[in-house]
Structure 1
Amino acid sequence: MSKDKGAVRHDPFEVEQREWKKRQVNERLKRMLTFASPLFLLLLWEFLSRSGLIDIRFFPPPSSILGTFYGLLTSGELAGHIGVSLYRILVGFLLGVIPGIVIGLLMGLYSPIRHFVSPIVMALMPIPTLALLPIIIILFGIGDLSKVVTIAGSVFFPVVINTVAGVINIDSIYLDVAKNYGAGRVNFFMKIALPGALPVMLEGIQMGQAIALLTIVAAEMMGATSGIGFLIWTSYKAFLLQEMYVGLILISFFGYMFSLLLRAIQKKMLPWR
């Protein structure tokens, strides 16, 4: 008598379909939790403010902040601050990321360049870019250029350090194969070093975007006449805390959106991860 006579046979296609549906349910649950946590925090804040459990002078309810946001938006004032800050962030971010990638790849590939540049990078990296802001303002003025240079300097170091680490950690077998097949410098650079360093490099870029947001707020507080940081600082000095919270929430929102965008790019460029 066959052992499998009473066994229940499962169609592989049905099993695969059930697994796919299970994964879809898990993904939907994760997305719901992602939106639920900030919503829960806002509802808790609203309740504590309305019930008087926290001081409404310092923590106005989110509903009143939303009303202030709408007023600033319809007046056109907020759009101007957002546009200026996003321009500074984007330009400064690119001016920090692109040289960081190029120099990081060169340092990782060529030992003489690494030994020559590393002391300079290691010496300058611990110095906060904001500490150099007075010198930057003296050199570049209080306009957009000084903010762009400040952001670029802040973004450059995490990108270059992570890019170097990514290149150094490439498996030597790929380097040997490229050399054995006579790969030229351009092909070696574009098809071995860059893809091999990409996972670690993108983590550095992700870190750089967070630093860019921190830097732009501080830079606009210290020497600017526009931008989200300027809005936060002037609102604080005038004790217009609802407008201050509008600026803080905007920075938080843009940080979250930029992080999602970079994660989506990372998923497209590194599908195996």
Structure 2
Amino acid sequence: MEVSSKVFKTLLGRRKSQTAITMGKSIWRRPLSVLAPATLLIMWQILVMIGILDNRFFPAPTDIFKQGYEDFVSGQLASDLAISLIRLFIGFIAGAVPGIVIGLSMGLFKPVRYVLDPIVASTYPIPKLALMPLIMLMFGLGEIEKYVVIMLGVFFPVLISTVTGVLQLDEKYMDVARDFGASRKLYYTTVALPGSLPMIFTGLKLGLGMALLFIMTAEMEGATGGIGYRIWISYSLFQIKDMYVGFIAMALIGYFSNLLLDELEARIVPWKG
């Protein structure tokens, strides 16, 4: 009993020390993540004030934030943000869900992989932005065209990451499921999907980056609203402050979207650590 008590206390002490180290790291994480952009903005402001940066092309951050506040109060910025977020959400879901389902099928079943792998290998290298004229011919300049562009940007990274995640699974998990007579549906839900979730989230994050890139391009062609549209119009009218407001708005969308995916991953894939 004394030996067991000592072992328990030792393990408990190690656990507490590890927890303290983890908490210490998490405490410093947020301030350090804010320090770099804050330092960059301060340097930018100073360089504009002393005249090294031309204020016509690089407005001071304070002027940009002031312009952003005015755009938000007028409702213009909020409207553009809402339009872009709706397009981003619909296009992202439309690309991610088929990417996960087809990726699981390709990873689990060799015939499906043998049929689809050459198609994916030949179509993935094609620059998706080069398909814009074809997409516009097929779907016009409406909302569907923008959804399709974003969907293509998300689909391939999610698909490839999902296939990789399934193929990296240990065969013994499949053997156990097979020995217990698991159906194909159970293969998907209890073996392939949980086991490949870390790689799936990697693909989702890559797809999110592509979605942000493509939504900018899509909104610059035939759109009447959105952050990309506002950036293009501001450039055309030489409203440089508004253009920078659009840049910062898109950067914030990307930052908070990644935070959301990180939070979902931490809750859904807690074993990843």
Alignment TM-score > 0.5, same fold? yes
Check 1:117–1:11 CA distance in 2 against 1; reply closer, same or farther (3 A cut): closer
Counterpart Cα distance in 2 of 1:166 and 1:56: 49
Q: TM-score, normalized by length of structure 2?
A: 0.92
Counterpart Cα distance in 2 of 1:81 and 1:144: 14
- CA drift of 1:21 comes to 3.6
Residue 23 of structure 2: aligned partner: 24
Counterpart residue identity of residue 102, structure 2: I
Counterpart Cα distance in 2 of 1:193 and 1:17: 35
Note if 1:60 corresponds to 2:59. yes
Counterpart Cα distance in 1 of 2:184 and 2:22: 44
Residue 264 of structure 1: aligned partner: 263
Q: TM-score, normalized by length of structure 1?
A: 0.92
Check 1:12–1:184 CA distance in 2 against 1; reply closer, same or farther (3 A cut): closer
Residues 1-273 of structure 1: pairs in structure 2 closer than 5 A: 17=16, 19-273=18-272
Counterpart residue identity of residue 187, structure 1: L
Counterpart Cα distance in 2 of 1:270 and 1:14: 27
Counterpart Cα distance in 2 of 1:193 and 1:85: 33
Check 1:35–1:167 CA distance in 2 against 1; reply closer, same or farther (3 A cut): same
What value does the CA root-mean-square deviation take over the aligned residues?
A: 1.6
Counterpart Cα distance in 1 of 2:16 and 2:104: 44
SS at match of 2:270: coil
| Uncovered stretches (5+) of structure 2, i.e. residues with no partner | 1-8
Deviates more, 1:126-135 or 1:153-162: 126-135
Q: Check whether the contact 2:106–2:163 (CA below 8 A) recurs between aligned residues.
A: yes
| Uncovered stretches (5+) of structure 1, i.e. residues with no partner | 1-9
Counterpart Cα distance in 2 of 1:26 and 1:250: 29
SS at match of 2:207: helix
Counterpart Cα distance in 2 of 1:128 and 1:90: 22
Deviates more, 1:129-138 or 1:169-178: 129-138
Counterpart Cα distance in 2 of 1:195 and 1:26: 28
Deviates more, 1:84-93 or 1:72-81: 72-81
SS at match of 2:96: helix
State the 4+ residue runs in structure 1 displaced beyond 4 angstroms: 10-19
Residue 3 of structure 2: aligned partner: none
- CA drift of 1:25 comes to 2.7
SS at match of 2:220: helix
Counterpart Cα distance in 1 of 2:13 and 2:219: 58
Counterpart Cα distance in 2 of 1:184 and 1:11: 45
Residue 6 of structure 1: aligned partner: none
Counterpart Cα distance in 1 of 2:20 and 2:266: 21
- CA drift of 1:100 comes to 0.5
Counterpart Cα distance in 2 of 1:117 and 1:20: 46
Counterpart Cα distance in 1 of 2:134 and 2:254: 27
